[in-house]
Amino acid sequence: MPSTFELPTRFGTAGYGGCYAPETLMMPLMELEAALRAALADPTFEAELKTELRVFVGRPTPLTPAPRLAAALGFRQVLLKREDLSHTGAHKINNALAQALLARRMGKAEIIAETGAGQHGVATAAACARLGLKCTVYMGVTDMARQAPNVARMRLFGAEVVGVEAGQGTLKEAVNEALRAWAGRCDAAHYILGSALGPHPFPTLVRTFQTVIGEEARRQALDLTGNLPEAVIACAGGGSNGLGLLVPFLKDPLRRIAVEAGGHGEGLGEHAARVSGGRAGVLHGCKTLLLQDEEGRTAETASISAGLDYPALGPELAALASDHMVEVWRASDEEALLGAQHLCQLEGILPALESSHALAMLPRLAQEGIGTVLLGLSGRGDKDLATYQARLGI
Ligand SMILES: *Cc1c(COP(=O)(O)O)cnc(C)c1O
């Protein structure tokens, strides 16, 4: 639980963030901010969330030393923060569950959500089943075909999955459709956004509920080793697991690194590296670093990992990057595959393709003289088995 109840609308010197939402969403967004403020100040909510995180999600997740990986790469110590061991297999459940509790508190019996790869949809569907809320998840039709097992999981949890035909049939279109649906149902429904994105208060709200990752990890590292690591590193799609891990370390004298998807090339459309390849722009309700063409049209993106394949970086992480509080690196598809293979063979842990982008940067960190590192393992790789099999020739 956060120690401050500050809910910033803008981030950093660039003033990223804001609330670029249609008129119809202004009232529900203001209502949400008020509800969040009240919930964060209410010890009953804090206690309820803490209990559910323990008994349903499995928190605290372990901090696992990875000695064979460390030795192979030349580190004194590598510590893994194991969000892969959370219920439903990734960090997404921290936010989905907290927002579902918030919705119930607001008297909303229905939940709307978007999903890309399906991880946020599965987490939301699970949280809704747990709390007895009706759940509708918007998902692009291309993603539904690519991520059929997650569609089945959501439906098993009782959620309705609505296919979105527009555009490329992926996450961007699913967010548009979910926001539209929410505007029409905002009296009865709460919209659970899956990353630290969107109009205020969503970026702050999602980040607030994900900082449990870094707060636990910081305490666990101190308990385990008596020291803080020299570097903390996580992958960044929208930025929720990255902020969740890195924000509690912002005041510490160490290197903070977020890793974006370098995809398969340097050209626009071949990657999802918003910091090195993007410019300030507005998408889905906030101003942030955005991949776009010369006319300002949102660019296509590419990545081997569905969870990092989004044209905008969350505004707070974009601001931390612009203000040099967080370094942002990029890992290619090939490097991520190699990172995953290392962890599998040396530690017996199968990482999500997203998390593998952070793993891929360990050799570079070692080269730069870092001796101890804490890495956010955002999710497990069972969902990516088919890709690993095909690309690693297993
Ligand atoms: C969704 C997802 C991500 C990327 O989202 P963030 O909001 O940047 O954390 C990373 N890892 C896993 C396992 C995911 O499911």
pLDDT tens figures, 159-193: 999 999 998 888 989 999 999 999 999 999 999 99
Ligand 1 centre distance from Cα of residue 359 (Å): 14
**The tokens of 349 are what?**
């842990």
Report residue 3's pLDDT band, with 50, 70 and 90 as the boundaries.
very low
Give the pLDDT confidence score for residue 287 in this predicted structure.
Answer: 98
CA distance 281 to 225: 42
Residue with tokens 């930025």: 239
C-beta of 242 in contact with ligand 1 (< 6 A): yes
Sign of CA dihedral 64, 70, 73, 76: positive
CA distance 289 to 274: 6
- Identify the CA nearest to 157 among candidates 146, 147, 149, 168: 149
Contact 333, 308 (CB under 8 A): no
Give the pLDDT confidence score for residue 262 in this predicted structure.
Answer: 98
Ligand 1 centre distance from Cα of residue 120 (Å): 9
C-beta of 376 in contact with ligand 1 (< 6 A): no
Ligand 1 centre distance from Cα of residue 124 (Å): 14
Ligand 1 centre distance from Cα of residue 234 (Å): 10
Give the pLDDT confidence score for residue 5 in this predicted structure.
Answer: 59
C-beta of 197 in contact with ligand 1 (< 6 A): no
Residue with CA nearest ligand 1 atom 4: 237
Give the pLDDT confidence score for residue 146 in this predicted structure.
Answer: 81
Residues 325-348 have a mean pLDDT of 98
Ligand 1 centre distance from Cα of residue 378 (Å): 6
Write down the pTM of the prediction: 0.97
What contacts 393, CB < 8 A, 6 or more positions away?
none
Answer whether residue 4 shows pLDDT above 80: no
Contact 321, 351 (CB under 8 A): no
Contact 64, 77 (CB under 8 A): no
Answer whether residue 226 shows pLDDT above 70: yes
Dump the DSSP string for 24-78.
Answer: HHHHHHHHHHHHHHHHHT-HHHHHHHHHHIIIII-PSPPEEE-HHHHHHHT-SEE
**The tokens of 74 are what?**
């030349």
Report residue 341's pLDDT band, with 50, 70 and 90 as the boundaries.
very high
Strand arrangement of the beta sheet that strand 327-332 belongs to? 63-65, 77-82, 372-377, 231-235, 255-263, 327-332
Answer whether residue 1 shows pLDDT above 70: no
CA distance 122 to 107: 22
C-beta of 239 in contact with ligand 1 (< 6 A): yes
C-beta of 204 in contact with ligand 1 (< 6 A): no
> Which amino acids are annotated catalytic?
92, 114, 378
Answer whether residue 248 shows pLDDT above 90: yes
Out of 61, 208, 235, give the residue to mutate to test ligand 1, the one with the largest number of ligand atoms within 8 Å of its CB.
235
pLDDT, tens digit (0-9, with 9 covering 90-100), for 202-214? 999 999 999 999 9
Q: What are phi and psi of 20, to 5 degrees?
A: -90, 65
State the pairing for strand pair 279-283/286-290: antiparallel
DSSP 312: B
Report residue 122's pLDDT band, with 50, 70 and 90 as the boundaries.
very high
Ligand 1 centre distance from Cα of residue 141 (Å): 20
Residue with CA nearest ligand 1 atom 3: 307
C-beta of 352 in contact with ligand 1 (< 6 A): yes
Ligand 1 atom at minimal distance to the Cα of residue 379: 13
Residues 280-296 have a mean pLDDT of 96
Residues 295-314 have a mean pLDDT of 94
Out of 81, 99, 241, give the residue to mutate to test ligand 1, the one with the largest number of ligand atoms within 8 Å of its CB.
241
